[in-house]
Amino acid sequence: MKNLVLAPIALFVAVASPLGSQTKPDEQAVRKIPQAFADAWAKHDGHELAKMMADDVDFVTVGATWLHGRPDFEKYHVRLLSGRFKESSITPLQTAVRFLSPDIAVVHWSWTLAGDKNPDGTARERRYGMMTMVAARRKGTWLVVVSQNDNSFPGVPPEMQGIKTPMPMPDQIGSQPSNPKNSP
The answer to whether residue 182 scores a pLDDT higher than 80 is: no
- For residues 50 and 77, is the Cβ–Cβ distance under 8 A? yes
Q: Is residue 80 part of a domain?
A: yes
Q: Is 13 within the bounds of a domain? A: no
Q: Kindly state whether residue 83 falls inside one of the protein's structural domains.
A: yes
Q: How far is CA 91 from the centre of its chain?
A: 12
β-strands 66-68, 53-60 pairing = antiparallel
Which region among 8-22, 27-41, 119-133 has the lowest average model confidence (pLDDT)?
A: 8-22
Sign, CA dihedral 112-118-121-125, equals negative
In a domain, residue 169? The reply is no
State residue 3's pLDDT score: 55
Residue 84: domain span:
22-153
Is residue 44 in a domain? yes
Q: What is the CATH number of the domain that holds 105?
A: 3.10.450.50
pLDDT tens, residue by residue, 146-175: 999 998 888 877 787 788 888 888 887 544
